[in-house]
Amino acid sequence: MAQLGMLPTGLTQVVAPVPPRNRRLKDLLLNQQTVLFLVLVAMIVVFTVLDPIFFSVGVFGNILLDWGPIILIAIAETFVVISGGIDLSVGANLGFSGVIAAYAMQALTGAGVGDTLSITLGIIVAAATGSFVGYINALLINRARLVPFIATLATLGAAGGMSIVLTGGAPIGSGPSSAIALSVPWLGPLSWPGIVVVLIVIIAGLYLHKSRFGRYTYAIGSNSFAALAAGINVKLHLTRIYVLSGFLSGLAGMFLYIRLGSGAPTSGTGNELVAIAAVVIGGVALAGGVGRMSGVVIGSLILAVVPSGLIIIGVQPNWKQVVIAFLIAAAVSLQALRTSSPRRSK
């Protein structure tokens, strides 16, 4: 007789399959976007319970104004990270583009140009300036063969330093007087710039997930050598990605100008870390080739909700860094758990 707990020779142990219902529940709980959405809802509920004023149109309008520049540079970082790179210059580029646009609008206003035309030209100048910085990043990576971390670290220092040199550290105003009025919410918590940002998010998401550009981006991030062998012009595509990153950073600089009514040289300081945090929390793998825009949107909303909620309930804003650090650690742990799941490893 076989010993208790042992199978007779020649028999194979059969493991009972996981019931489909339990498997779906497990997949749902391991889905980072689902977890993020629940965290966002939980934050809103907790902050509202602690201070009911949090759940108001005014507060949500302020949160969306904070969210605008965050999501723009987070989208920029998303394309770069999925391609297997990183862009540390998005924050400095934001500030530098805002300063250049502020000088341009100051000159136009002084010359008697109307507010509408001045703001329109300011948007073009900011986007062009940001795109130029992005192109410099691409040149350093493709021509000088610097790794993205070093290349964008160099442009971070250059753009941030030039902003201080050009302004002496002081904000640049005296531009269109009606610019700051555009940031006033008029459609619930949404302002005109907020509506434009929402449209950009939708377009960027479709572009990433439904277009050839997005497929190439995922392919390069997954395996650049295989992408090259498949006929993708990797260097040209990376150039487009870094120019797109700079373009969105420039728009973020203009967004902040409209909100503040001036171009502040330090407005983008540290925002590159916020962008990377939104990307990581949103489920984009830093190794490249993995990530969805919807997760980045929720991640950036969480980063916009945290400081506003802490201020309203009377907690020092410095705790924001602690909360963000915890969220990053939790997001990376969840990614590791999903990767190690037997079902996903097949």
- The rounded distance, in Å, linking the Cα atoms of 75 and 293 is 8
- Inter-axis angle of helices 192-210 and 234-260, to 10 degrees? 170
The pLDDT of residue 330: 78
Listed range (76-80, 154-158, 284-288, 341-345) with the worst mean pLDDT: 341-345
**Residue 14: pLDDT over 80:** no
Q: What is the mean pLDDT of residues 318-335?
A: 78
The pLDDT of residue 344: 43
For residue range 221-251, what is the model confidence (pLDDT) as tens digits? Answer: 999 999 999 999 999 999 999 999 999 999 9
Q: Which residue has the tokens 């779906």?
A: 24
Cα 150 to the chain's mean position, in Å? 20
Burial 45-54, CB ≥16 within 10 A → b, else e = eebbeeeeeb
Into which CATH architecture does domain 53-336 fall? Orthogonal Bundle (1.10)
DSSP character at residue 54: G
For residue range 104-135, what is the model confidence (pLDDT) as tens digits? Answer: 999 999 998 999 999 999 999 999 999 999 99
For 223-269, give the DSSP string: -HHHHHHTT--HHHHHHHHHHHHHHHHHHHHHHHHHHHSSB-TTTTT
DSSP character at residue 313: T
The pLDDT of residue 316: 77
**Residue 75: pLDDT over 80:** yes
Q: Which residues pair with 187 in a beta bridge?
A: 190
The residues, any chain, with a CB within 8 Å of residue 27's CB and separated by 6 or more, are: none
Longest CA–CA span in the chain (Å) reads 101
**Residue 68: pLDDT over 70:** yes
Q: What is the mean pLDDT of residues 14-37?
A: 65
53 in Cβ contact with 59 (< 8 Å): yes
Domain boundaries, the chain: 53-336
Prediction pTM value? 0.88
